A = this chain, B = another copy of it.
Amino acid sequence: MSFTIDSEVRSHGGTQYVCTHDSRATSTPMTFSIFVPDHEGATKLPVVWYLSGLTCTHANVTEKGEFREACAELGLIFVAPDTSPRGDSVADDPEGAYDFGLGAGFYVDATEAPYAPHYQMWTYITDELPTLIEHAFPCDKDRQSIMGHSMGGHGALTIGLSFPERFKAVSAFAPIVAPSQVPWGKKALTGYLGDDKNVWRKHDAVALIEDGHQVPALLIDQGSDDNFLEEQLKPELLQTACDQAGIELTLRMQHGYDHSYYFISSFIRDHLAWHQQRLA
């Protein structure tokens, strides 16, 4: 349960840490960032998990997410893990593609060779890292929520739907909502989990909802000028599933916005305020 603090920087009335530890789940060193607002000595603070998208590390949202001002005001800890195991021993996409392998763990526990030994991101995010941060930082484990972007939106949705008691709110920016039905997801789920589509269902938000999973509250922002909207994201599939399951989904189409951190940073304050209301 030990870890190294790679950097510790004061920002926006709080402290931005970047930490590295040897992960049991992935059998690799893993790096994450965590922002802790200033707080009274023994106070425990609610925790917002942020899962990043394809090609990202912890650093993208940490540098470009513009979350610290709102987190400091709202008293929220903000955790940003990496998106895959990394290192010379970790298998990558055979052709080095951006959408599978390194930077593209898809938040599953891989069962297929050669990915199974290290690609255990589901266990890492839902079990190992929560235990670490609860011991090392002033986290109130009874007040947690989760959000993510694109592939990380997929992660936030599937983890939120799988642990509705743990996460009081789930939100996403431009999430992959139905990986079983889109190219990015089909490639990743086949590569990590094999061909049995029944196995994929617990890693597909729309399928989880069809199978009866619930979530306390759900907010999604989607840019209308997102290049991946029609082929990979398909928020209408989530809307239909939520309608049929009686889940209240707030789906906001943001006119003219794209898939980048210029979009995420524009609305992350809204998301954090919405989370904080549900974590009070």
Which A residues contact B (CB, under 8 angstroms)? 9-13, 16, 63-64, 66, 68-69, 223, 225, 256-258, 260-263, 265-266, 269
User: A66: which of B13, B16, B66 is its contact (CB, 8 Å)?
Assistant: B66
Q: Are B10 and A258 in contact (CB under 8 A)?
A: yes
Q: Are B262 and A16 in contact (CB under 8 A)?
A: yes
Q: Are B66 and A10 in contact (CB under 8 A)?
A: no
- Nearest Cβ on chain B to A150's Cβ, whole angstroms: 16
- Nearest Cβ on chain B to A33's Cβ, whole angstroms: 11
Q: Are B11 and A69 in contact (CB under 8 A)?
A: no
User: A10: which of B63, B68, B257 is its contact (CB, 8 Å)?
Assistant: B257
Q: Are A265 and B11 in contact (CB under 8 A)?
A: yes
Q: Are A63 and B64 in contact (CB under 8 A)?
A: yes
A11 and B262 in contact (CB under 8 A), knowing A63-B63, A64-B63, A66-B69? Answer: yes
User: A266: which of B12, B63, B256, B265 is its contact (CB, 8 Å)?
Assistant: B12
Q: Are B10 and A262 in contact (CB under 8 A)?
A: yes
**Main DSSP-derived SS at the A contact region:** mixed
- Nearest Cβ on chain B to A107's Cβ, whole angstroms: 26
Q: How far is the CA of A11 from the CA of B263 in the complex (A)?
A: 6
Neighbouring B residues of A10 by C-beta, 8 Å = 223, 225, 256-258, 262-263, 266
Neighbouring B residues of A63 by C-beta, 8 Å = 63-64, 261
The listed residue with most B CB atoms (<10 A of its CB), out of A261, A262, A263, A269, is A262
Q: How far is the CA of A256 from the CA of B263 in the complex (A)?
A: 31
Q: How far is the CA of A16 from the CA of B256 in the complex (A)?
A: 12
**Nearest B residue (CB) for A260:** B9
Neighbouring B residues of A257 by C-beta, 8 Å = 10-11
**Nearest B residue (CB) for A72:** B266
Q: How far is the CA of A12 from the CA of B69 in the complex (A)?
A: 15
20 interchain pairs, CB-CB under 8 A: A9-B258, A9-B260, A9-B262, A10-B225, A10-B256, A10-B257, A10-B263, A10-B266, A11-B257, A11-B262, A11-B263, A11-B266, A12-B265, A13-B266, A63-B63, A64-B64, A66-B265, A68-B265, A69-B265, A69-B266
